Amino acid sequence: MSVIRHDLPDAVWPTAEQAAASRLFSPIELGPVTAPTRTWVPAMVPWRATDDGHATDDVIDWYGRFADGRPGVLVVEATGIRDVPSGPLLRVGHDRFLDGLRRLVDRVRERSNGETRLFLQTIDFLTIRRRPEKDKFFARFLAITPAHRVAMRSDDEAEVRARLATCDDERLREVLTAREFRDYSHGYRDEVNDLQLPHVRELPKVLPELFADAAARAERAGFDGVELHYAHAYTMASFLSRTNVRDDGYGGSTAARARLPLEVFEAVRASVGSTFAVGARFLGDEVIDGGGRIEDATDYGVAFAKAGFDFLSISKGGKFDDAKQPKVGEAAYPYTGPSGHECMPTVRSDERGPFGRNVHLAASIRAAVRHAGHETPVVAAGGICDFGMAEGILARGEADAIAAARQSLADPDWWEKMRRGHGEAVRRCIYTNYCEGLDQKHKQVTCQLWDREFDTGEDYVPRSKDGKRRLLPPVWQPPESGS
């Protein structure tokens, strides 16, 4: 692909009157929950939880700051459903996490004046290990097989290991299976196809209850709903993936691949009250070789709508399968390859560019869902960056709500600026993914457009661990009315 550096499109901003009359700022029903506008901040992990998964003041301040912009919906970052150590990932797998989550909910209610509907994105993921040092991999991690003995012409395991360690990558590609080579070159990770592993085989038994308990806890914490994370590189997306060839009834065909996601939904729905929304985020296109395309996604969308999901939020790509090789000692990151680029497209792109790049996926899924007779709202994301684009998508019936992640990070007040007719004051995202680079290193996520602005006269500005960056954008005061 020839890479073109795209300019930001000219922005179209509304007057306050135009905003008031717009589709974007009109209410939307998400099953039992009504959001006052169709503006949506999708999940973004800011890496601010404690190492044992609790919401910190920094997490709570982060969501409070997004609530200042009063989006119709704010989705809290991917939050782990299991009670297992997961690094600084927010967690909801035990009642001890409730206090922090309640404080987060209270902050969003207060700062959005009760307007913003708040969903928790719930996630399960499989084990992934760091890329090993070559010597260690061959000395300890690789299970020696008869094929290795034959190739290394030795029956002595220690000798086989030592000889393998001296082979170059070209030779190793011949000697190792594709999976063994990947474990060596990218680091080990579990796959849903690993039925030989009891904890992987058991996933269909354990996940419905884990997701259901997490949702019930989110409801007790005061959230308005959950977004089941069925997208990107994680467990549920791997069940939906065309690469899922499980032969236990949960893989191999479109219907079998959708079975666990539907069973999880049923369990979640049964564990929460009728006023609590249950939706999902899933992929309109996996992007990877051998992965699912829009045809699979439309089938899933229709199946989910039929089952009663309250909303469908569409993403794209973000897979491990095509991720770049990590450095030794680091884990693969699913947003580094072509599918990662499609998930968070930058201004360095092909001729289509990043702006509204993935809307056609939401549009196809929405059309299929409507054709099947369901009114389930569909949420579009991906480079949507001004009022004109957002309103056009809604007017053409391509989606029912507009999600903007990076534009909201660049300027969480942008919704409110648009609504009040101050669009010219929006700090526009430049789509070069400095924030994504921080995410990749599990560093506290900030935006390059504001994280060095200290000279603002604010009383208190929280800083990153190294003290160099501010953690939240400067406060915006709407101009006096009439000015």
Ligand X SMILES: Cc1cc2nc3c(=O)[nH]c(=O)nc-3n(C[C@H](O)[C@H](O)[C@H](O)COP(=O)(O)O)c2cc1C
At its nearest, how many Å lie between ligand X and the CB of residue 164?
38
Q: Is 42 in the site for ligand X (CB under 6 A)?
A: yes
Q: Is 231 in the site for ligand X (CB under 6 A)?
A: yes
The one segment of 92-100, 176-184, 317-325, 426-434 that binds ligand SF4 by CB under 6 A: 426-434
Q: Which is nearer to ligand SF4, 80 or 354 (CB)?
A: 354
**Taking CB within 5 to 8 Å according to partner kind, which of ligand X, ligand SF4, none is near residue 404?**
ligand X
Closest by CA position to 222, among listed 310, 118, 113: 118
The DSSP code sequence of 46-113 is -S-S-TTSPPPHHHHHHHHHHHHT--SEEEEEEEE-SSS--SS--B-SSGGGHHHHHHHHHHHHHHTT
At its nearest, how many Å lie between ligand SF4 and the CB of residue 400?
24
Contact (Cβ atoms closer than 8 angstroms) between residue 85 and residue 52: yes
Return the residue matching tokens 């949507």: 384
- 24: which 2 tokens? 């974007």
- Identify residues 436-465 at the interface with ligand SF4 (CB under 6 A): 447-449
SS3 456: coil
SS3 225: strand
Applying CB under 6 A, among 238, 241, 339, 433 the residue interacting with ligand SF4 is 433
**Cα–Cα distance for residue pair 231/224, rounded to 1 Å:** 21
At its nearest, how many Å lie between ligand X and the CB of residue 384?
6
At its nearest, how many Å lie between ligand X and the CB of residue 41?
8
**Cα–Cα distance for residue pair 25/16, rounded to 1 Å:** 11
Contact (Cβ atoms closer than 8 angstroms) between residue 90 and residue 44: no
Buried b (16+ CB within 10 A) or exposed e, 129-168: eebbebeebbeeebeeeeebeebbeeeeeeebbebbeebe
Q: Is 319 in the site for ligand X (CB under 6 A)?
A: no
The one segment of 38-46, 186-194, 242-250, 433-441 that binds ligand SF4 by CB under 6 A: 433-441
Closest by CA position to 224, among listed 76, 425, 11: 76
**Taking CB within 5 to 8 Å according to partner kind, which of ligand SF4, ligand X, none is near residue 447?**
ligand SF4
- Identify residues 273-292 at the interface with ligand X (CB under 6 A): 281
At its nearest, how many Å lie between ligand X and the CB of residue 145?
38
**Taking CB within 5 to 8 Å according to partner kind, which of ligand SF4, ligand X, none is near residue 448?**
ligand SF4
Burial (0-12, 13-18, 19+ Cβ within 10 Å), 364 = buried
Dihedral, CA of residue 410, residue 413, residue 417 and residue 423, to nearest 10: 0
Q: Is 422 in the site for ligand SF4 (CB under 6 A)?
A: no
459 φ/ψ sector (left φ>0, alpha ψ -120 to 50, else beta):
alpha
Q: Which is nearer to ligand SF4, 398 or 411 (CB)?
A: 411
Q: Which is nearer to ligand SF4, 11 or 430 (CB)?
A: 430
**Taking CB within 5 to 8 Å according to partner kind, which of ligand X, ligand SF4, none is near residue 312?**
none
Applying CB under 6 A, among 204, 291, 337, 382 the residue interacting with ligand X is 382
At its nearest, how many Å lie between ligand SF4 and the CB of residue 344?
8
**Taking CB within 5 to 8 Å according to partner kind, which of ligand SF4, ligand X, none is near residue 235?**
none
**Taking CB within 5 to 8 Å according to partner kind, which of ligand X, ligand SF4, none is near residue 231?**
ligand X
Alpha carbons within 13 angstroms on the beta-carbon side of residue 399 total 30
**Taking CB within 5 to 8 Å according to partner kind, which of ligand SF4, ligand X, none is near residue 449?**
ligand SF4
**Cα–Cα distance for residue pair 291/371, rounded to 1 Å:** 25
Kindly report the CA angle at 31 between 254 and 80, in degrees rounded to 5?
A: 65
User: Residue ranges of the alpha helices (H) in 326-483?
Assistant: 338-343, 359-371, 387-395, 406-410, 414-419, 434-440
**Taking CB within 5 to 8 Å according to partner kind, which of ligand X, ligand SF4, none is near residue 393?**
none
Q: Is 430 in the site for ligand SF4 (CB under 6 A)?
A: yes
Total residues interacting with ligand SF4, rule: CB under 6 A: 13
The total of other beta-carbon atoms located within 10 Å of residue 223's CB is 26
Applying CB under 6 A, among 257, 374, 406, 419 the residue interacting with ligand SF4 is 406
x/- binding map, residues 125-154, to ligand SF4, per CB under 6 A? ------------------------------
Q: Which is nearer to ligand X, 35 or 151 (CB)?
A: 35
Q: Is 410 in the site for ligand SF4 (CB under 6 A)?
A: yes
Task: Please name the residues in contact with 368: beta carbons below 8 A apart, sequence gap of 6 or more.
Answer: 298, 299, 301, 302
**Cα–Cα distance for residue pair 337/415, rounded to 1 Å:** 31
Q: Which is nearer to ligand SF4, 85 or 437 (CB)?
A: 437
Contact (Cβ atoms closer than 8 angstroms) between residue 395 and residue 420: no
- 114: which 2 tokens? 């009760």
**Cα–Cα distance for residue pair 135/149, rounded to 1 Å:** 18
Q: Is 426 in the site for ligand X (CB under 6 A)?
A: no
**Taking CB within 5 to 8 Å according to partner kind, which of ligand X, ligand SF4, none is near residue 430?**
ligand SF4
**Taking CB within 5 to 8 Å according to partner kind, which of ligand X, ligand SF4, none is near residue 24?**
none
Q: Rule CB under 6 A: which residues touch ligand SF4?
A: 406, 409-410, 429-435, 447-449
Q: Rule CB under 6 A: which residues touch ligand X?
A: 42-45, 77-78, 121, 229, 231, 281, 315, 343-344, 381-384, 404-407, 435-436, 439, 445
